[in-house]
């Protein structure tokens, strides 16, 4: 199994009433297109069970640098006609960040995910302890810490221009995937208690679909 150290983390909403077009595009075009880029390993799409962004998607890549290659940039700057329409008319409230994995426990994938987006540049001890404390729990499939590696002077892509508003960015994300929804809700409650001193935004999601590269 190829190890991933790069992550493209995405949160967004969908224009109300346009969900069918949104899903048809993701299922019929977008995921497969992204997974054809050299270095892309897997894409996972999820939908919210609570408040916050309705959709969470992440892609695993062999390294963060994959997300700055010419092959990938060509897709961002020359979107298909359907992608142009989706970006302009349907995507809303986009958060997009290239990250590197700085801590990982577990190799499995779960049916539910908890995301904890942190705004602090430096991770204090409580964050490391929180993630490390999940490692031996049988209901936890994986637990990771992602740190942003977005270059400060990266030019704006055509896709971002089409969305009409500058994308939001994260600094750090804690990702935990669980086997069942009950365990995910427990971790939400733990995060609210144990990370109370950190400036964070917590989301809980259920898996919609997963696609792996054929390469």
Q: If pLDDT is split at 50, 70 and 90, which confidence band does 194 have?
A: confident
120 pLDDT more than 90: no
Return the residue matching tokens 């967004």.
12
CATH number for domain 6-212, candidates 3.40.50.10540, 3.90.1310.10, 3.40.50.2000, 3.30.70.100:
3.30.70.100
Q: Residue 20 class from Cβ within 10 Å (0-12 exposed, 13-18 middle, 19+ buried)?
A: exposed
Burial class from Cβ neighbours inside 10 Å (0-12, 13-18, 19+) for residue 155 reads exposed
Domain boundaries, the chain: 6-212
**DSSP string covering 172-184:** EEEEEEESSHHHH
How far is residue 28's CA from residue 30's CA, in Å, rounded to a whole number?
7
pTM over 0.75, yes/no: yes
Distance in angstroms (rounded) separating the CA atoms of residues 53 and 47: 9
N-terminal to C-terminal alpha carbon distance within the chain: 11
pLDDT band, residue 190 (cuts 50/70/90): very high
Residue 86 buriedness (CB in 10 A; 0-12 / 13-18 / 19+): buried
Residues with Cβ within 8 Å of residue 191, at least 6 apart in sequence: 114, 116, 130, 174, 200, 202
Q: What is the mean pLDDT of residues 116-138?
A: 86
Q: What's the pLDDT at 81?
A: 96
**Residue 99 pLDDT greater than 70, yes or no:** yes
15-28 average pLDDT score: 97
Beta carbons of 98 and 173 less than 8 angstroms apart:
no
In this structure, is the dihedral angle defined by the CA atoms of residues 104, 172, 205 and 25, taken in order, positive or negative?
negative
Rounded alpha-carbon distances, angstroms, from residue 70 to 47, 73, 148, 150 = 30, 5, 20, 16
Report pLDDT digits (tens) over 43-52: 999 999 999 9
Give residue 121's pLDDT.
Answer: 64
Residue 1, pLDDT above cutoff 80: no
Region 120-130: mean pLDDT is: 80
Q: What is the pLDDT, as a whole number, of residue 197? A: 64
pLDDT of residue 124: 74
Mean pLDDT, residues 164-169 taken together: 91
If 0-12 CB within 10 Å is exposed, 13-18 middle and 19+ buried, where does residue 177 land? buried
Report the pLDDT averaged over residues 192-207: 87
The per-residue pLDDT for 3 is 77
- 104 pLDDT above the threshold of 80: yes
Distance CA 133, CA 194 (A): 11
Q: Is the pLDDT of residue 181 over 70?
A: yes
């Amino acid at each position: 199994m190829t190890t991933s150290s790069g992550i493209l983390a995405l949160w967004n909403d969908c224009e109300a009433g346009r969900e069918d077009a949104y899903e048809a595009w993701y299922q019929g075009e977008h995921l497969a297109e992204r997974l054809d880029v050299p270095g892309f390993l897997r894409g996972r799409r999820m939908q919210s069970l609570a408040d916050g962004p309705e959709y969470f998607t992440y892609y695993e890549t062999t390294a963060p640098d994959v997300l700055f290659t010419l092959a990938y940039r060509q897709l961002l700057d020359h979107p298909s006609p359907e992608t142009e329409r989706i970006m302009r008319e349907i995507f809303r409230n986009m958060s997009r960040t290239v990250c590197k994995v700085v801590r990982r426990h577990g190799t499995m994938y779960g049916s539910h995910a908890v995301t904890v987006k942190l705004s602090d540049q430096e991770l204090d001890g409580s964050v490391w302890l929180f993630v490390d404390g999940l490692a031996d729990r049988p209901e936890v499939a994986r637990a990771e810490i992602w740190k942003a590696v977005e270059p400060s002077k990266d030019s704006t892509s055509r896709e971002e221009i089409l969305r009409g508003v500058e994308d939001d960015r994260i600094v750090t994300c804690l990702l935990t995937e669980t086997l069942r929804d009950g365990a995910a809700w427990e971790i939400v409650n733990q995060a609210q208690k144990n990370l109370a001193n950190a400036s964070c935004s917590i989301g809980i999601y259920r898996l919609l679909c997963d696609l792996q590269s054929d390469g």
